[in-house]
C-alpha cells in the first residue's frame, strides 16, 4: 500500500506531464519548421491552440453515439493513470499497482480500443478507415512491445517497471546484450506508438484527413489533441523509465526528485529532437508494407531472447 508521499509524487508527476505535453509537441513543431526552412510557430503555440479550441463550439455528427462523446475523456484518463504508475522522477514506481508492465500495456490497449471505436462510431468513412488502421497497428506493435518488455522482465525477475529499471541501471541483469537488444526492439515499438511519420497511419492527414480526429471539434478536439501529445510524452517516459533510468532519484528526498526531474527533461528533449529529425526526413510508409516493418521489431525482440538463452 503506497503511503501519502508516494501518492503525492504520483499525482505530481502525472500533472507535470500533462502540463508539459503541449510544450513538447510545440517543440516538435519548431523542429519541423526548422527542417522546412520556415519561420514556423513559437514554442507555446500548442497551448494557444488548446486555449482557442476550448472556447469553440463542440459539433458532433448526428449519428455519433456515447462512445464518440466519451472517448477524449477515457483517452485522457488512461494516459494520466499510466503517468502515475511509470517511474519517471524516481527509480521506483510511485504506485506499484499501476506500474506493472502488463497493466500499462493493457491501459494503452484500452485507449487504443476506444480511439478506434470512436472512429467507427462517428460515421465518417475516413474515420472508419483510420480506426481499422489504428487497430491493425495495435496488432502489429503490441507483440514487439510485449516481447521486448517480457525479456526485460525475465532478466530482472519482476514485471514491475520500477524493478526492471532499477535492475537495468545497476547492471544486475543476467545478460547485458539481451537488455540492449530488447531496448532497441522496444525503442522501435515505442516509435511506432508515437504515431509519427512514417507510421502515422491512423491520423495520416493527406490520406485520411486525420482519421478518427476528422469529426471532432472544439473542446473535445482540444482534449483529444492534448491526450495525444500526453500519450507521446508518456510513451517516451515509459521507455526512459525502463531502459534509460539513469539520473532518476533512488529515494523520495526533494533534492533527489528535482535532480530526477532535470535528468528526465534532458532525456525527453534529446529524444524528441532525434524523433523530430527522423520524422521530417522520410515519407509515410505505405500502409500495406507496415507488417514488414513490424516483423523487423519482432525479429530484434526474438534475438534478444536468443541472447538471454545463450547468456551473453
| Interface ranges with another protein (CB under 8 A) | 32, 35-38, 61, 63, 123-126, 128-129, 132-133, 135-136, 197-198, 200, 204-209, 280-289, 291
Between 177 and 285, whose beta carbon lies closer to another protein? Answer: 285
DSSP 171: T
260-296 in b/e burial notation, b at 16+ Cβ within 10 A?
A: bbebbeebbeebbeebbeebbeeeeeebeebeeebee
Nearer to another protein, 4 or 289 (CB): 289
210 vs 227: CA distance, rounded Å:
15
- State the nearest-atom distance from the C-beta of 192 to another protein, in Å: 14
Assess contact for 179 and 311: CB atoms under 8 A.
Answer: no
Return the number of the residue (141 or 155) whose C-beta is nearest another protein: 141
- Alpha-carbon gap, residue 62 to 60, rounded angstroms: 6
Cell numbers of 213, please?
Answer: 480526429
Q: Report the residue number, 6 or 225, with the smaller CB distance to another protein.
A: 225
Burial of 226 (0-12, 13-18, 19+ CB in 10 A): buried
Task: List Cβ neighbours of 255 (8 Å cut-off, separation of 6 or more).
Answer: none
Tell the smallest beta-carbon distance from residue 282 to another protein (Å): 5
Closest separation in Å from C-beta 198 to another protein: 6
Least distance to another protein, CB of residue 123, Å: 4
Task: Tell me how many degrees the CA angle 91-102-248 measures, rounded to the nearest 5.
Answer: 10
107, three cell numbers: 491501459
Q: Pick from 208, 207, 212: which is nearest to 114 by CA?
A: 212
User: Cα 125 from chain centroid?
Assistant: 26
Q: Which residue, 118 or 249, has its beta carbon nearer to another protein? A: 118
Q: How far is the CB of 284 from another protein (least distance, A)?
A: 3
The smaller minimum CB distance to another protein, of residues 90 and 214, is found at: 214
Complex with another protein: residue 294 or 304, whichever CB lies closer: 294
Q: Chain centroid to CA 280: how far?
A: 19
CB of 128 to another protein, least distance (A): 6
* Least distance (Å) between residue 63 CB and another protein: 5
**Least Å from the CB of residue 26 to another protein:** 17
- Between the CA of residue 251 and those of 85, 95, 158, 167, what are the distances in Å? 16, 14, 20, 15
Cβ closest to another protein, residue 209 vs residue 302: 209
Residue 186 C-alpha cell reads as 522496444
Amino acid at each position: 500500500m503506497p503511503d501519502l508521499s508516494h501518492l503525492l509524487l504520483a499525482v505530481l508527476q502525472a500533472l507535470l506531464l500533462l502540463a508539459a505535453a503541449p510544450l513538447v509537441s510545440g517543440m516538435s513543431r519548431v523542429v519541423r519548421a526548422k527542417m522546412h526552412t520556415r519561420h514556423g510557430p513559437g514554442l507555446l503555440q500548442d497551448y494557444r491552440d488548446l486555449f482557442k479550441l476550448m472556447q469553440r463550439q463542440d459539433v458532433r455528427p448526428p449519428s455519433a453515439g456515447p462512445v464518440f462523446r466519451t472517448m477524449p475523456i477515457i483517452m485522457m484518463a488512461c494516459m494520466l493513470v499510466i503517468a502515475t504508475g511509470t517511474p519517471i522522477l524516481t527509480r521506483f514506481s510511485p504506485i506499484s499497482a499501476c506500474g506493472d508492465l502488463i497493466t500499462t500495456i493493457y491501459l494503452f490497449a484500452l485507449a487504443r480500443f476506444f480511439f478506434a471505436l470512436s472512429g467507427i462510431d462517428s460515421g465518417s468513412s475516413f474515420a472508419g478507415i483510420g480506426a481499422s488502421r489504428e487497430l491493425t497497428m495495435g496488432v502489429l506493435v503490441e507483440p514487439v512491445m510485449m516481447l521486448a518488455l517480457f525479456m526485460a522482465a525475465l532478466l530482472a525477475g519482476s514485471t514491475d517497471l520500477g524493478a526492471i529499471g532499477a535492475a537495468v541501471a545497476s547492471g544486475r541483469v543476467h545478460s547485458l546484450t539481451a537488455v540492449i537488444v530488447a531496448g532497441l526492439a522496444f525503442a522501435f515499438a515505442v516509435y511506432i506508438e508515437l504515431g509519427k511519420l512514417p507510421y502515422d497511419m491512423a491520423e495520416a492527414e493527406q490520406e485520411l484527413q486525420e482519421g478518427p480526429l476528422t469529426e471532432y471539434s472544439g473542446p473535445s478536439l482540444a482534449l483529444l489533441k492534448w491526450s495525444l501529445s500526453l500519450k507521446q510524452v508518456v510513451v517516451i517516459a515509459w521507455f526512459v523509465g525502463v531502459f534509460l533510468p539513469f539520473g532518476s532519484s533512488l529515494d523520495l528526498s526533494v533534492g533527489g526528485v528535482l535532480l530526477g526531474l532535470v535528468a528526465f527533461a534532458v532525456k525527453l528533449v534529446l529524444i524528441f529532437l532525434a524523433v523530430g529529425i527522423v520524422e521530417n526526413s522520410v515519407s509515410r510508409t505505405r500502409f500495406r508494407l507496415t507488417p514488414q516493418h513490424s516483423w523487423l521489431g519482432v525479429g530484434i525482440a526474438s534475438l534478444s531472447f536468443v541472447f538471454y538463452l545463450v547468456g551473453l
